[in-house]
Amino acid sequence: MYIAQAFNILHDWWRYLVGLIIIILAWQLLGAIPLGIAIFAKVFSEGGDFSQLEANDMLSMLEPNLNLFLLLLMFAIGLIAVLLVSKYLHKQSLTHLTTSRKKIDWKRFWFIFILWGVVSSSFVLIDYFLIAPEDYELNFKTVPFLILCIIAIIMVPMQTSFEEYLFRGYLMQGLGVSSVHQKFPFTIIYTIIGIVGYIYFDSIYNFGFMEAIIIFILLVSLLVLLLNTKNLTTSSLDSLLYKVLKRNSTPLILTSVVFGLLHIANPEVEQLGYVIMVYYIGTGLFLGIITLMDEGMELALGFHAANNLFTALLVTADWTAFQTHSVLKDMSDPEKMGIMEIFVPVFVIFPILLFILSKKYKWNNWKDKLFGPVLPPTNDDYKILEDIETN
């Protein structure tokens, strides 16, 4: 029902395409302006050559707290874009984007925020005090840490909320309601071919930023042109794909994979290899499952905020995306990370959390909620949700 309620707003496929373009431009272009200005000013003041800098060098040039703030500011601007696009392009309220309930249930948010904050912090502290203290270095400095606390407490939830509202909210609902269109299978196949083709040719020609923008515009324009062509999908294969893809599992899987790929440029991937994508995609699946089963994003918002906030405050490393003035610094060799850090969370801890949450919130009908067809909500759906809230 969380996905299906998007049928009650302006949900034309082109609105989600336009909205996604606006969000990406706001996040990656408008949001990057303050960071770009700060880096340029730093390079100019030191007499360096801006054209010779690589991405990793840029991110390490600024003071960690300033760098963190400017990076998180990009996500804050992206979050504003998601909410504005939802409100004005789709006529959708914040509550409607967040949950199927009549109002946002903040008790759910705080329950999992505290639960995961305690559990994830315990893992780090147990490792530090009992298992491998030699892998850590005390990094605590009072003033920088207090500044970090202010930045992290305010800005990290904006970063995680942007990712949740974009993936578990806007895209999950958008892909869900778009999957009822007969041309949806063609769109998915076209997109996959376009992405693979771009990656292949980029590895050969190393496209610049403007070239990438032009290619993106051309691909989108061609897609729009093809979607407006009559009798584009008439084969039996198209009909079969339509029946397979018109299910809740489609937006669940697609948003999880894209969420994982969003992290592919992180320094962790370079250090640990593509095996770390198991963790990123697995985390996306976990967040998507709890969103669909709970008929809202409150749990996903709380978990993601706790995960990033407590990590930013507790531990950092030279090879992670966020360099912070945290309490501890991980000095271990990243190449030694294995089953415990990557596979145990996805295949052990997350299933345990799903079990706990399912018992607490009395989840049922897993098959239909995760794999059932996408259908417009009925009055009976709202009645069932009201009964659950009452109980």
Residues 79/154, Cβ–Cβ less than 8 Å: no
Mean pLDDT, residues 147-166 taken together: 97
Residue 232 is predicted with a pLDDT of: 65
Range of weakest confidence among 43-47, 361-365, 378-382:
378-382
Residues 278-331 have pLDDT tens digits of 999 999 999 999 999 999 999 999 999 999 999 999 998 877 777 899 999 988
Q: Does residue 55 surpass a pLDDT of 60?
A: no
Question: Which of the four pLDDT bands, split at 50, 70 and 90, describes residue 54?
Answer: low
pLDDT over 70 (residue 233):
no
Strand duo 136-138 + 328-330: pairing:
antiparallel
Rounded to the nearest integer, the mean pLDDT of the chain is: 88
Which is higher by pLDDT, 172 or 276?
172
Answer for the pair 288, 95: CB distance below 8 angstroms, yes or no: no
Provide the β-strand partners of residue 316. 329
Residues 6+ apart with CB under 8 A from 83: 94, 97, 165
Q: What is the pLDDT of residue 137?
A: 93
Mean pLDDT along residues 136-160: 96
CA–CA gap between residue 377 and residue 170 (Å, rounded)? 18
Report in angstroms the alpha-carbon separations of 242 from 185, 190, 269, 342, 372.
6, 14, 34, 34, 13
Residues 176-200 have a mean pLDDT of 88
Give every CB contact of residue 308 below 8 A, 6+ residues apart in sequence. 156, 159, 160
| Whether the Cβ atoms of residue 247 and residue 311 lie closer than 8 Å to each other | no
Q: Which of 124, 240, 133 is nearest to 182 (CA)?
A: 240
In 3D space, the residue among 76, 237, 87 whose CA is nearest the CA of residue 152 turns out to be 76
Question: To which residue do tokens 């919130």 refer?
Answer: 361
Is the pLDDT score of 85 beyond 50? yes
Q: What is the pLDDT of residue 97?
A: 97
- Say which range, 56-60, 131-135, 319-323, 375-379, has the weakest mean pLDDT: 56-60
pLDDT band at 70 (very low <50, low <70, confident <90, very high): very high
Side chain identity at residue 72, one-letter code: L
Q: Which residues contact 19 (CB under 8 A, 6 or more apart)?
A: 85, 86, 89, 90, 170, 174
Residue 149: band (very low, low, confident or very high) from pLDDT cuts 50, 70, 90 = very high
**pLDDT given for residue 171 in this prediction:** 97
Tell me: pLDDT of 199 over 70.
yes
Q: What is the pLDDT of residue 46?
A: 76
Count other Cβ atoms within 10 Å, centred on residue 68. Answer: 24
pLDDT tens sequence across 347-364: 999 999 999 999 999 999
**Is the pLDDT reported for residue 384 higher than 50?**
no
